[in-house]
Structure 1
Amino acid sequence: MSQHKVVLLLGSNLGDQKKNLETALEKIREKGIEILKISEFLISEPVEFVSSNIFCNIATIIFTDLSPIQLLDFVKSIEIEMGRFNDSKISGGYTDRIIDIDIIKYNEIRFTSERLEIPHKKHLFEREFSKILLKNL
């Protein structure tokens, strides 16, 4: 099985945000996925919705043999396991969340489906906090 280099962005604005991010990373490791690099934590304001809860974010580079959709299913299962039930793709809007895990890049492929778009254009080109995190990887 070939290994794919993937960039993930993780964020949390509920509870112990740093602990939530660390827990999500541990769940990724438990799946046997190699974590190559992790950015520093970055605190940011909510984007595209109003909340009094600030975000803690990190970016990470992983190696996985999962396909893009398999990886999406896996990170969504982590979100649900950690208590997130309001997926923005389904609800049509952003809300506070215990954990959010986005696939930003997957090798150098371009992939578009109903559930997933790679590369994640908003994080790569529009959101300032994302650009800061990704620049430091």
Structure 2
Amino acid sequence: MIQIRTVAALLAAIAVAAATPALAHPRLWRALPAQSANTGNVREISLTFSETLIAPLSGLDLVMTGMPTASSSRKHIAMKVSGIRASLAPDRKTLRASLARPLPAGTYDVNWHAVSNDTHRVSGKVSFTVR
């Protein structure tokens, strides 16, 4: 009787463990440039996730949120950087966007969205500064 309970408990634990990945969503593991980075010569944006992504449903937008000005009273209107296309790297976990030329000095937001096999869309933002 005790062996049957032990086997049943073990099988239940295995079933729960096997089902857990199906309930997971992709999480951002690493971003280059990193969150709050102060960097120069940015020619590529790279976001690595915890799970493989579905390419047509995942992507990113780059928005310039601020630029150096001579006067602090001048406000910068956020503007989307055009001409950027994200694609999946061969590992299918990394979204990459190559830039034609380095980003000019300013502050930027990378607004990303990712979909893995669970088909739930998750999104987030990474902000950094180019000096």
Length-normalised TM-score, structure 2: 0.30
The structure that has the greater radius of gyration is: 2
Higher normalized strand content (fraction of residues): 2
